[in-house]
Amino acid sequence: MNGDDASSSDKPTPSKRDEYVPISGLTGFEKWRRTMAFLTGIGISEGDRARELANVQINNCEADKHYLMQASPSVVFMLKHLKVAGCELPPSNIVCAPCEGPLSHVSGFVPDDNAILLCAGRFWSRKHLEQSMVHEMMHFYDNCRFKVKWDDLRHHACSEIRANNLSGDCSFLRQLRRAEPGFFKKHQECVRSRAILSVSQNPNCPDVATAERAVNEVWDSCFPDTRPFDEVCWSHTLLTCLRLTPF
């Protein structure tokens, strides 16, 4: 899972929604009336207004998702590499939905369904969504190529290290632009702390100390592993980072 504070295999759950006809499915006067009611809050129940907001958020998420699948170098790269690996990821398997649980949980990989969940309304920008998609696609890649056992803390830790290192979650480029000293060390610290927090949320992990031990045990082998990238791509606009590596 990917979030503002952590990522884990403890996936967010889509919230249940009653049958509801959204504004986008209406026409004429009724569409105008419902739009005004939604904007003003007059003549609409809180429940219906919440449903409409969720629908707007889902539509926005879907639009950005499809845009990134066509225009983002990193997302397109991952899609192509998944296909080469025999693990094609169709748009229908990247699902935008309202989520329950902590707001810091913004996305998740669902191994049993080979699907990625994007929590509609929880992304503050298209870039944030892009990084979250790449993060979950790294889990998808690991699950396909390396047959990850998600109940094994070492397996989980390795995938979290790789996903946080390669997705842009730890904002190396922002540190570089600020010319902060020791940015590589800070990047490593960010990757490590996020991986530990994610593994600590694994149902099979009893405490944070156990999660930290699992991350430390696989760090030296998993942090340098940049597959399918040739190298760590600190900025996913750098096309030189996006070369296919040989299998």
201 Cβ partners below 8 Å, 6+ apart? Answer: 1, 6, 8, 9, 10
Q: What pLDDT is stored for residue 198 in this prediction?
A: 95
Task: Evaluate the CA torsion angle 177, 182, 184, 186 in order and state its sign.
Answer: negative
pLDDT in tens, the chain (247 residues): 666 544 444 556 655 545 666 656 666 766 666 556 655 666 666 666 567 767 889 999 999 999 999 999 999 999 999 999 999 999 999 999 999 888 788 999 999 999 999 999 999 899 999 999 999 999 999 999 999 999 999 999 999 999 999 988 886 554 454 444 555 668 899 899 999 999 999 999 999 999 999 999 999 999 999 999 876 655 444 444 544 444 3
Nearest in space to 211 (alpha carbons), one of 192, 232, 185, 233? 192
Q: What pLDDT is stored for residue 13 in this prediction?
A: 60
Residue pair 131/168 in contact (Cβ under 8 Å)? The answer is yes
For residue 117, tell me if it sits in a domain: no
Q: What pLDDT is stored for residue 15 in this prediction?
A: 54
Cα separation of 2 and 97, whole Å?
A: 15
> Which residue range is the domain that position 188 belongs to?
148-230
Q: Identify the active-site residue in 52, 130, 136, 160.
A: 136
Q: What pLDDT is stored for residue 197 in this prediction?
A: 95
For residue 114, tell me if it sits in a domain: no
For residue 6, tell me if it sits in a domain: no
Known catalytic membership, residue 136 = yes
pLDDT tens readout for residues 26-45: 667 666 665 566 556 666 66
Number of domains in the chain: 1
pLDDT tens readout for residues 153-196: 999 999 999 999 998 888 655 445 444 455 566 889 989 999 99
Residue pair 179/32 in contact (Cβ under 8 Å)? The answer is no
Nearest in space to 95 (alpha carbons), one of 2, 14, 188? 14
Nearest in space to 12 (alpha carbons), one of 138, 97, 133? 97
Cα separation of 223 and 162, whole Å?
A: 6
For residue 219, tell me if it sits in a domain: yes
The reply to whether omega before 22 is within 30° of 0 (cis) is no
Burial of 245 (0-12, 13-18, 19+ CB in 10 A): exposed
How many CB atoms lie under 10 A from the CB of residue 224?
11
For residue 158, tell me if it sits in a domain: yes
For residue 131, tell me if it sits in a domain: no
For residue 177, tell me if it sits in a domain: yes
For residue 3, tell me if it sits in a domain: no
Q: What pLDDT is stored for residue 243 in this prediction?
A: 46
